[in-house]
Structure 1
Amino acid sequence: MRRFPLHHAALLSLSLLATSALAGGSEGAAMQDGFLDVNGARIHYVSVGTGTPMLLLHGYPLSGELFARNRAPLAAAGYRVITIDHRGYGQSTAPAENPGSLETYAQDALAVMDQLNLSKAIIGGMSMGGPIAFEMYRTAPQRFLGLILIDTIANPAGIVEQNIWKGMAQKAVTFGPQSLAPELLKDMLTGQTRAERPADAALLTNIVKQASVAADVAGANVLATRPDSLTTLKTITVPTLILEGREDTVYPPEFSLKMQQNVPGSTLVIIPGAAHAAIFEKASAANTAIINWARNSGLR
């Protein structure tokens, strides 16, 4: 299922687009919006700014547009912010024989860094992006300047959670990707935000609709079968920020506290009034936390 036609010159590997205003400010920030052929997939990416590289990985079943409110403010603070759509999500496509796996998502992200000539970056992962970042760290720790863990978890999925993700996959197959939005929005945003800012819910709903059925199934399987990364936490030696929405019901603050206790020297910031998509719902608070942590960690 494709929403964005892929044809002729519109798919140059590096498509440069100018922008004078992005969500959150930073007028005139340098922007690249393009596609990269990676491991048999075509990966859509957006790059804003020219400073210290920061690669942000979205959760299930979203896209890089989850970070639309973060790119420009972080770029204005001196960072080159790169977001990607994992294969099958957003504007990215994937071959039928490899719709996605934890290893593939991690390899894709590292290959994007290679093609953009980034030897190292601050790497952040939201929700499913966390296990992907852990896999990247196990594979290539030398590529990390720092690590940002956003409303995510290091524990493997228990029996109940495994079946939730299996149900999500089955629902996508039976009723289509759009059917997942009502299931997810109640956890992505607080009730107050859904009531008072319906445009936020509509934006996330549209992102969810863009995924392919195959990607929805693959991502759900990644979440259901993710490995135990608790032992990985103790091996992390780069500066680490853990961001958590206080109202997150998918991976509540207790899990973030456990990660903070296991990553030496890590920083935990809990954002009030935010649920699972805290990076989007309370973008200003999240941006401030990221900028302060990065500067205090010498990552500027």
Structure 2
Amino acid sequence: MSYITVGRENSTDIDIYYEDHGSGQPVVLIHGYPLDGDSWEKQTEALLEAGYRVITYDRRGFGKSGRPTVGYDYDTFAADLNSLMETLDLTDTVLVGFSMGSGEVGRYLATYGSGRVAKAAFLASLEPFLLKTDDNPTGVDGSVFEGILEAVAKDRYAYFTDFYRDFYNLDENLGTRIGDEVVRASWNTAAGASPHASSACVPTWTTDFRGDVAKIDVPALILHGTSDRILPIDATGRPFRQAVPHADYTEIEGAPHGLLWTHSDEVNTALLTFLAK
């Protein structure tokens, strides 16, 4: 098992768990909430078969990484990613973020530049700005995030059960595109995350990335499902496309937020096509 140390809280090192497989151009996969690096299994296999080096890691507080009570903000998340990039001395890298993980991609490029990065992909992303404000009328009302934070604090296990219904659109996809066992595995991953991280990540979803995405200077892919109930496309993917007009843009018709599994073939085709350009 491989770890890098990215900081310290009192007497405890903050370690980030990662896996590094294959050879060729490196692709770093950054997972969403409340999952871990294993959530990329459908993409990992496709990328390895296509000849890429694939690096996954668990965000602090999730999976096998350390469980600190500090550092749950995108500046720190991007710093953790930068530590991984520097430790492994990655160059000509493709950064691929899913959901919450897309924030790391945007903040990393805005903060550390694209010297080590060849391309960037944003899958079911939360950019450019999720929160509804006077100058962002298509965003999500702040009361929604307050309700999520309250639900996670009250009973995160019950919240995760409800969350995955809309994450995978189970009313439409259960028994066809996804099975009970996958949902159970996703729930178990969420339940195994740090309780503190489960709550502390929620306020980060309203981070304003408009300044970050304006600095994207590498070829980019924006991919979103039209039936995303977690990060609705009209609040995220479509305005993101307008903010980064040079990006390749793909909508997967009928896909939910959890499209890495339910629509893995479509995602993999779009991602591999983008990487091969």
TM range (shorter): 0.7 to 0.9
Partner residue in 2 for 1:86: 59
Counterpart check, 1:240 vs 2:220: yes
Counterpart check, 1:280 vs 2:249: no
1:117-136 → structure 2 map (5 Å cutoff): 117-136=89-108
Counterpart check, 1:113 vs 2:85: yes
Counterpart check, 1:211 vs 2:183: no
What do you get for the CA RMSD once the two structures are aligned? 1.9
Paired residue for 2:148, among 146, 165, 168?
Answer: 168
Counterpart check, 1:74 vs 2:82: no
Unaligned runs of 5+ in 2: 9-13, 134-139
When residues 279 and 161 of structure 1 are mapped into structure 2, their CA distance, relative to the original with a 3 A threshold, is: farther
CA distance in 2, matches of 1:161, 1:204: 27
1:1-300 → structure 2 map (5 Å cutoff): 15=1, 34-40=2-8, 41-96=14-69, 98-142=70-114, 143-152=116-125, 153-158=127-132, 161-175=141-155, 177-190=156-169, 191-196=171-176, 197-224=179-206, 226-227=207-208, 229-254=209-234, 255-296=236-277
Residue identity matched to 2:251: I
SS of equivalent residue, structure 1 residue 88: coil
Offset at residue 280 of structure 1 (A): 2.2
CA contact (8 A) 1:49 1:76 kept: no
CA contact (8 A) 2:71 2:77 kept: no
SS of equivalent residue, structure 1 residue 125: strand
Aligned residues: 260
Partner residue in 2 for 1:27: none
When residues 110 and 239 of structure 1 are mapped into structure 2, their CA distance, relative to the original with a 3 A threshold, is: same
Offset at residue 99 of structure 1 (A): 4.8
CA contact (8 A) 1:99 1:214 kept: no
Residue identity matched to 1:275: P
CA contact (8 A) 1:48 1:71 kept: no
When residues 55 and 162 of structure 1 are mapped into structure 2, their CA distance, relative to the original with a 3 A threshold, is: farther
Q: TM-score, normalised by structure 1?
A: 0.80
Offset at residue 173 of structure 1 (A): 2.7
Q: Percent identity?
A: 25
CA distance in 2, matches of 1:65, 1:162: 31
SS of equivalent residue, structure 2 residue 174: helix
Residue identity matched to 1:202: R
CA distance in 1, matches of 2:53, 2:142: 36
CA distance in 2, matches of 1:281, 1:43: 28
CA contact (8 A) 2:107 2:212 kept: no
CA distance in 2, matches of 1:243, 1:275: 12
Residue identity matched to 1:116: L
Offset at residue 117 of structure 1 (A): 1.8
